[in-house]
Amino acid sequence: MRAYTAGDTDVPLLEETIGQNFERVVARFPFHDALIEAAAVPGADARRWSYTKLNDDVDRLARALLALGVAKGERIGIWSPNCAEWTILQYATAKIGAVLVNVNPAYRSYELEFVVRQNGMRMLVTAPSDRNSDYVAMARQALAECPELRELVFLPDLGAEQLDAGVPQAGQELTYAELLKRADDVGHSGLKARMAELDAHDPINLQYTSGTTGFPKGATLTHSNILNNGYSIGELLGYTEHDRVVIPVPFYHCFGMVIGNLNALSHGAATIIPGRSFTPAAALEAVQDFGGTSLYGVPTMFIAELALPDFASYDLSTLRTGVMAGSLCPIEVMNRVISEMNMEDVAICYGMTETSPVSTMTRSGDTMQQRTETVGRTMPRLESQVVDPATGDVVERGEIGELCTRGYAVMKGYWNQPDKTAEAIDAEGWMHTGDLARMDDDGYVVIEGRMKDMVIRGGENIYPREIEEYLYTHPSIQDVQVIGVPDATYGEELMACIILKPGAEPLDAAAVADYCRGKLAHYKIPRYVDVRESFPMTVSGKIRKVEMREEAVARLGL
């Protein structure tokens, strides 16, 4: 049987814009909680929005942007950690047809200026500076260096001394409050007229991929791409207006703004922001304080939550579901999330920014094996196939090849890069993921790792995930990543990078080899072991194995 599946086709697609969908939900649940932001200062009150209040604030910002002359299709950047204003801007730009550009909060001046220039960004909405990033200075530098950038908007909590520091060389600076005052210059009829001009297949969001090789590429996504994907995920999670979704993952990434915001808000559910950035305690406190029914995270986030010394003291009884995505989930971690966090219906979602993002997902009725060893099966209205990377032919089920996705969720392309688009999306519309996978007889997909992460040792193809899964069973290991490092004899050798559990006995290469001997083939036993405090990660929680390999090569003198 060929490694090809098609998702349910009897599920209709939403043929509406994000703004139209949101207004329809607001009319159904006007007084339900839509957005809750946990207090930034202990003891202060959380900020809350009902659906009506959120819609009013979205409309006010949308009218302010129209008053500045923002045209349909113009690019507006958001460069900020998670906050309520991020969500408000997401929906305001959707209502006026501006393209929201998600800028990674970890970017520095060179990367910011590249993104501004690459898409011709007109406006940048930026967070106040903090101890990690001088957002204000870098935004002003971009304003001076990039003539297409016309306005900077500074989000709340920005000190007056920062606003007065330095004089911009060009363009215009506004505080968020000053921008909102412009709304008085445009009536609601003006906003309705703009909304009537929009089409569900218009580009509405631009997300830059991490760019592990070369400069990042801007995946161009439409209303239809991300609204339908978010809504479909919520349907499979069984979301209703009674759900309360805790979102500690970043909004700048599809996980936060699509699987999080668009998913929940298209179902009348509440979105809960635990904090500007992830801390395990804040995520669990948000579940406890606001009655969270669903919790999101990449595996490293759940590992950190489970490792809290006072984990057992949190009341997680309201949880029933959630999403684990972003990177491969260790089986042991999934089992603990289900048994110790009350997340019986937790789902694994798999995908990529270019597919809006989810293309396969586990279901609540799946067996424990399917929910811990696979990334589920193909989403409704999408197709999946596994192909031989060398020939492009579809392989047989059970064989390993490159996973490809086709359907409504595939991006329009990379912004102004038709050559890169053609490399990623073939002539038949298949998005090539770069992930090695196999499909079982029931259509469930198992991800074996990135094509570039596969280790070739002495002619043997080694998939790091298999070794990682076994090492997770070691009583002293909290987290582990296996990488390949250069070797003169075999081409590559294996290194296990390990984070130990608190108080655990030290581990070295000999101890790890003893644990693996007789359980793994000899060529799968790591030659090197690196015990470390943490792994280098992207803001969205993905492990940067490329960086780990570079560090290992330098340290070992390879």
CATH 3.30.300.30 residue ranges of the chain are 454-556
State the pTM of this model: 0.86
- Which CATH number is 19-26+48-199 given? 3.40.50.980
pLDDT, mean of residues 147-173:
68
The string of DSSP letters for 442-467 reads TS-EEEEEEGGG-EEETTEEE-HHHH
Helix (H) or strand (E) holding 418: helix 418-424
Burial class (CB in 10 A: 0-12, 13-18, 19+), 493: buried
pLDDT, mean of residues 88-114:
94
Helix (H) or strand (E) holding 495: strand 491-500
Q: What's the pLDDT at 43? A: 79
Helix (H) or strand (E) holding 321: strand 321-324
3-state SS class at 158:
coil
Cα torsion through 266, 268, 274, 275, rounded to 10: 50
pLDDT, tens digit, 9 for 90 and up, residues 404-432: 999 999 999 999 999 999 999 999 999 99
Q: Please, what is the end-to-end C-alpha distance for the chain in angstroms? A: 44
Q: How confident is the model at residue 29 (pLDDT cuts 50, 70, 90)?
A: very high
Cα torsion through 51, 54, 55, 59, rounded to 10: 180
CA distance 534 to 482: 14
Read off the DSSP letter of residue 155: P
Q: What's the pLDDT at 210? A: 63
CATH 3.40.50.980 residue ranges of the chain are 19-26+48-199
Fold of 454-556: GMP Synthetase; Chain A, domain 3 (3.30.300)
214 has pLDDT over 80 = no
pLDDT, tens digit, 9 for 90 and up, residues 230-246: 999 999 999 999 999 99
Question: Is residue 449 within 8 Å of residue 433, measured between CB atoms?
Answer: no
Q: How confident is the model at residue 171 (pLDDT cuts 50, 70, 90)?
A: low
CATH 3.40.50.12780 residue ranges of the chain are 4-10+226-410+418-450
> Max Cα separation, the chain?
74
Query: Taking the CA of residue 256 as centre, how many other CA atoms within 13 Å lie in the half-sphere pointing to its CB?
Result: 28
What class is the 4-10+226-410+418-450 domain?
alpha beta
pLDDT, tens digit, 9 for 90 and up, residues 331-349: 888 899 999 999 999 999 9
CA distance 468 to 479: 9
Question: Is residue 5 within 8 Å of residue 187, measured between CB atoms?
Answer: no
CA distance 224 to 201: 6
Read off the DSSP letter of residue 62: H
pLDDT, tens digit, 9 for 90 and up, residues 448-507: 887 888 888 877 778 888 899 889 999 999 999 999 999 888 888 999 999 999 999 999
Q: What's the pLDDT at 116? A: 98
Burial class (CB in 10 A: 0-12, 13-18, 19+), 179: buried
Q: What's the pLDDT at 146? A: 96
CA distance 19 to 30: 15
Show contacts of 482-487: CB within 8 Å, 24+ apart: 482/455, 482/526, 483/453, 483/455, 483/545, 483/548, 483/549, 483/552, 484/453, 484/455, 484/456, 484/457, 484/549, 485/528, 485/549, 485/552, 485/553, 485/556, 485/558, 486/553, 486/558, 487/457, 487/527, 487/558
Q: What's the pLDDT at 540? A: 60
Evaluated on CA atoms 343, 261, 382, 410, the torsion sign reads: negative
Q: CA 525 from chain center: how many Å?
A: 32
Q: What's the pLDDT at 162? A: 42
